[in-house]
């Protein structure tokens, strides 16, 4: 699918500023959680009863706590994320040059800000907050991502009929952060606005050609 184009000139700077804003909010929230909250259930803060809480936890790897094999899995993950950040930055510039619709470029900026926010954690937090896992080769590049947004939709035993995780206890939806939220919101907006953000391919049905009747003079 090709992005919908407009006649309005787009400036890449405004979208990089949006990404920078997301990074600032993300990093500020992580600093506040690290500074003023205790990790785990001891420091849990209910915001809307049991439906929305702040819960300070550390994530050493990817989404849902998945990790690549040690000791170099973390470095590979960071390299992949940095490549994705570079590709997204280039893509945003290209979209602006092509005059793509602003809403779609803004979604790309939200994804860029979220991705870079978590990269900062991995690269620097082992030094800044001294949260690199025990046994890490170095504190640089081995920092853990700070998560805090907890929405426990369901807590309890997962039915035995579920594959792999059946019978295990779950605390509900995985804990995430502002950077994760920015990426998720952007993806959701893109899915909900496909008709606006992308050109709709027109399928022109081939009309059968009518043959002119033979003239009697041609016989």
Q: Which of 70-74, 116-120, 162-166 has the largest mean confidence?
A: 116-120
Q: Which of 114, 122, 91, 98 is nearest to 188 (CA)?
A: 114
How sure is the predictor about 157, in pLDDT bands with cuts at 50, 70 and 90?
confident
Whether residue 164 has pLDDT greater than 90: no
Higher pLDDT, 111 or 205: 111
CA–CA–CA angle 20, 21, 26 (5° rounding): 95
Q: Where do we find the tokens 């890449």?
A: 12
pLDDT given for residue 218 in this prediction: 44
pLDDT given for residue 108 in this prediction: 98
Range from 21-35, 38-52, 201-215 carrying the lowest mean pLDDT: 201-215
The answer to whether residues 27 and 34 touch, using CB atoms and an 8 Å cutoff, is no
pLDDT given for residue 69 in this prediction: 54
30-53: average pLDDT = 92
Whether residue 3 has pLDDT greater than 50: yes
**Rounded Cα gap, residues 2 and 98, in angstroms:** 11
How sure is the predictor about 201, in pLDDT bands with cuts at 50, 70 and 90?
low
189-217: average pLDDT = 65
The answer to whether residues 74 and 141 touch, using CB atoms and an 8 Å cutoff, is yes
72-97: average pLDDT = 92
Whether residue 74 has pLDDT greater than 90: no
- For strands 52-59 and 45-48, give the pairing: antiparallel
Higher pLDDT, 207 or 110: 110
The reported pTM is 0.82
The answer to whether residues 118 and 144 touch, using CB atoms and an 8 Å cutoff, is no
**Rounded Cα gap, residues 104 and 112, in angstroms:** 13
- Which residues contact residue 10 at a Cβ distance below 8 angstroms, ignoring those fewer than 6 apart? 95, 96, 97, 99, 100, 102, 105
DSSP state of 173: S
Distance set, CA 90 to CA 22, 94, 95 (Å): 18, 6, 9
Mean pLDDT across the chain, nearest whole number? 85
pLDDT given for residue 160 in this prediction: 78
Whether residue 66 has pLDDT greater than 90: no
pLDDT given for residue 204 in this prediction: 44
Residues labelled catalytic? 147, 180
What 3-state class would DSSP assign to 56? strand
pLDDT given for residue 68 in this prediction: 53
């Amino acid at each position: 699918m090709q992005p919908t184009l407009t006649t309005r000139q787009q400036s890449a700077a405004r979208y990089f500023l949006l990404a920078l804003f997301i990074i600032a909010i993300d990093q500020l929230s992580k600093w506040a959680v690290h500074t003023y909250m205790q990790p785990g259930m001891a420091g849990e803060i209910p915001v809307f009863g049991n439906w929305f809480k702040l819960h300070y936890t550390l994530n050493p790897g990817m989404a849902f706590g998945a990790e690549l094999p040690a000791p170099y899995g973390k470095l590979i993950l960071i390299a992949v994320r940095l490549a994705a950040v570079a590709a997204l930055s280039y893509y945003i510039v290209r979209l602006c040059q092509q005059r793509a619709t602003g809403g779609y470029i803004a979604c790309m900026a939200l994804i860029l800000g979220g991705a870079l926010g978590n990269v900062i954690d991995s690269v620097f937090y082992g030094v800044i907050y001294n949260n690199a896992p025990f046994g890490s080769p170095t504190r640089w590049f081995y920092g853990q991502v700070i998560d805090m947004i907890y929405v426990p939709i369901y807590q309890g035993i997962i039915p035995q009929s579920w594959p792999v995780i059946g019978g295990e206890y779950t605390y509900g939806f995985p804990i995430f952060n502002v950077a994760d939220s920015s990426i998720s919101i952007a993806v959701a907006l893109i899915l909900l606005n496909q008709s606006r953000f992308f050109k709709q391919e027109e399928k022109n049905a081939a009309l059968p050609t009518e043959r002119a009747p033979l003239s009697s003079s041609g016989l």
